[in-house]
Amino acid sequence: MAILQYREALREAMVEEMERDETIFLMGEEVAEYNGAYKVSEGMLDQFGPKRVIDTPISENGFCGLGIGAAMNGLRPIIEFMTFNFSFVAIDQIINNAAKMRYMSGGQFKVPIVFRGANGAAGQLGATHNTSTESIYATIPGLKVIAPSNPDDAKGLLKSAIRDDNPVIFLESEVMFGLKGEVSEEKDYIIPIGQARIAREGDDVTIIAHGKSHWIAMKVAERLEADGYNAEVIDPRTLRPLDMPAILKSIKKTNRCVIIDESNPYASISSEMTYRIQEKAFDDLDAPIMRITTKDTPAPYAKNLMAYYMPQEDEAYEACKKVMYV
């Protein structure tokens, strides 16, 4: 095992795949000469040259559409969003062109493309630079949505995403780019899309959390352990497809569930998880499912408001105690 930052794991995944397959290229704002706005693509221009690591103007709609056309014509683009907040000016390309092309062409044109970049809140950035997009993209048939919480998953899943023949939304985090963790040194390290990871086993309550919310779940589990309760922490890793068998297996064991989701709450990925759990495991539940999300507002700027806006560890801890009736 190597110790890598999250950004380094992402880079390793891209570099290894680009060394393996000449049809892969990386395109986005400041990915090449600037070496990446968050240094994810550092050194890649030097290694692969300007044919394969390509700076763009600030034209997300244009270069996402370009990626889609390139994918239809035999290439495997990786399109980097500086952050997914900017994907909204390209959302027509993602939803109408990337996700639907295979379908409306009757299966004639596939779109093997990865849209990747930082997702979710990253501090006092104001309303437009703090959006969690996973629930928006996960609702679209034709897309896969991945949100890794650690360097190892980031590497294994990004490699899978690049090899996938469907359009994949790959959600990273500005605040996790520097996160260090053990990463497999196995050659050709692949984590299959659609498999959850049981980060911690327990039988008192199931906590489901993806992306950086996973780390809140782990802290809550530690606090509960100090109280004498064992929480099972599930990191779904992939939000579409969702590993429902893993989630249901856990709930059959714990009979209780708390979801931490950085989305705005209304019609979010946690709403969908809640629906699916009650549909398949109603009789296994001993308490209503609870969820901790961001507030149902745009993100504020003020420090105290922003802290209050985000899913909080205390809220999640209290929710776990509530569903355990303790």
Q: Which one among 121, 147, 242, 269 touches another protein, defined by CB under 8 A?
A: 242
Alpha-carbon span 158 to 114, nearest angstrom:
9
Map residue 8 onto helix, strand or coil: helix
CB-CB contact of 200 with 218 (8 Å): yes
DSSP 94: I
Q: Does 75 bind another protein (CB under 8 A)?
A: yes
10 Å CB burial of residue 242 (0-12, 13-18, 19+) is: buried
Residues 169 to 208: which contact another protein by CB under 8 A? 194
174 is catalytic: no
Residues 85 to 124: which contact another protein by CB under 8 A? 92-93, 96-97, 101-110
The residue (of 151 and 194) whose beta carbon lies closer to another protein is: 194
Q: Does 32 bind another protein (CB under 8 A)?
A: yes
Instruction: Report the C-alpha dihedral over residues 221, 227, 229, 233, rounded to 10 degrees.
Output: 0
CB of 65 to another protein, least distance (A): 2
Q: Does 135 bind another protein (CB under 8 A)?
A: no
Q: Does 240 bind another protein (CB under 8 A)?
A: yes
CB of 208 to another protein, least distance (A): 17
DSSP 191: -
The residue (of 165 and 286) whose beta carbon lies closer to another protein is: 165
CB of 272 to another protein, least distance (A): 11
210 phi/psi in degrees, rounded to 5? -115, 165
Amino acid letter, 274:
T
Q: Does 72 bind another protein (CB under 8 A)?
A: yes
Map residue 110 onto helix, strand or coil: coil
60 is catalytic: yes
Give the number of other Cβ atoms within 10 Å of residue 161's Cβ.
Answer: 27
List the catalytic residues: 60, 129
Task: List residues binding another protein (CB under 8 A).
Answer: 23, 25, 32, 50-51, 53-57, 59, 61-75, 92-93, 96-97, 101-110, 141-142, 144, 164-166, 194, 240-242, 244
